[in-house]
Structure 1
Amino acid sequence: MTATLFSLTFAVAAPFWALMILLPRWSWTARIIASPLIVLPVVVIYALLVLPAFGEVLPAVASPTLAGVRDLLGTSDGAAAGWAHMIAFDLFVGRWAWLDSRERGVPALVMAPVLVLTILLGPLGLAAYLAVRTGWRRPATAATGPQRLG
């Protein structure tokens, strides 16, 4: 079951990445990505992996040591849970960057490589977007309140 959940983890996130990267101007992309619930399938996978081993996971994360985290992630269950954890947060960060970039008017061709970097190396993708977004200011209307996408 662990191998199946591991394989499913990116498979359930990939369609959202594809929408943001390949179809950024499609009206349905904005509607779908607007929901933070797009990360829910990965979160469910993470829960299926972590909750049965909660007694082992909690001590490793509550009082982390290098050896303890290594031992936790060194198992099939731990590696699969770690992967789901990364994919969920990468997707959430990618979603935020995509939504923020639309508000700021960052071109889709600029965002595509940033989003790919976020998929592959999450924190570096976040750093790249934080650098990119300094070149685009939010329109005055966006600063005063929520704005509808699409």
Structure 2
Amino acid sequence: MTQTLFTVSFWFAAPFWAVMILAPAWRRTGWLVSSPLICLPPLLIYIILMTPHLGQFFSVLTRPDLAALQELLATAPGAAAIWAHLVGFDLLLGRWMYLDSRQRGISPILVSPILFVTIFFSAIGVLVYLLLRTGYRPPVAPAAERTPVAG
């Protein structure tokens, strides 16, 4: 069962990543990713995997120790639970990046590769997006296009 939950946790998230990266301007993409609840299935899998081992997780999380964490993550339930946790939270980050970029008018040509990187290396993807977000200035239309026509 642990292997199955490990596998499906990614497949619950994959369709959302696919539309954000491959079809960012599709009219349904924004609707599909509008709710933060899209990350709920992987996070429920995390809870299912973690619950039988709550004591172990609680001990490691309340008294962080590298050796204890390493021991927990070396187990199938520990590794699968952390994987589901990462999948859920990475999707939440990707969703935020996608929606924020659309609101700011940042081109999907710039954002889609960053979202792709975020799937595999979330911290790097988020850092790159934050740098882009900080320095990005949307193109300004020429003055003739901005001036309303009197009629």
TM-score normalized with structure 1 length: 0.89
Contact persistence 1:46–1:85 (CA under 8 A): yes
The one-letter amino acid paired with 1:42 is P
TM-score normalized with structure 2 length: 0.88
The one-letter amino acid paired with 2:36 is P
Following superposition, the deviation at residue 55 of structure 1 comes to: 1.2
The one-letter amino acid paired with 1:83 is W
Matches of 1:137 and 1:67, distance apart in 2: 46
Q: Which runs of 5+ in 2 are unaligned?
A: 139-151
Contact persistence 1:36–1:92 (CA under 8 A): yes
Deviation string, structure 1 residues 110-148 (Cα, Å, up to 9, x no partner): 01110011001010010010011113359xxxxxxxxxx
Deviation string, structure 1 residues 76-98 (Cα, Å, up to 9, x no partner): 11010111111111111111010
Q: Indicate yes or no: 2:108 matched with 1:108.
A: yes
Mark the structure with the bigger radius of gyration: 2
SS of residue paired to 1:134 = helix
Alignment partner, residue 123 of structure 2: 123
Matches of 1:38 and 1:137, distance apart in 2: 30
Identity %: 47
In angstroms, what is the RMSD of aligned CA positions? Answer: 1.1
Following superposition, the deviation at residue 56 of structure 1 comes to: 1.2
- Please show how residues 7-86 of structure 1 align to structure 2 within 5 Å: 7-86=7-86
Matches of 2:52 and 2:77, distance apart in 1: 10
Deviation string, structure 1 residues 20-67 (Cα, Å, up to 9, x no partner): 001111111101111000001111111110111111110111111000
Q: After the TM superposition, which parts of structure 1 deviate over 4 Å for at least 4 consecutive aligned residues? A: none
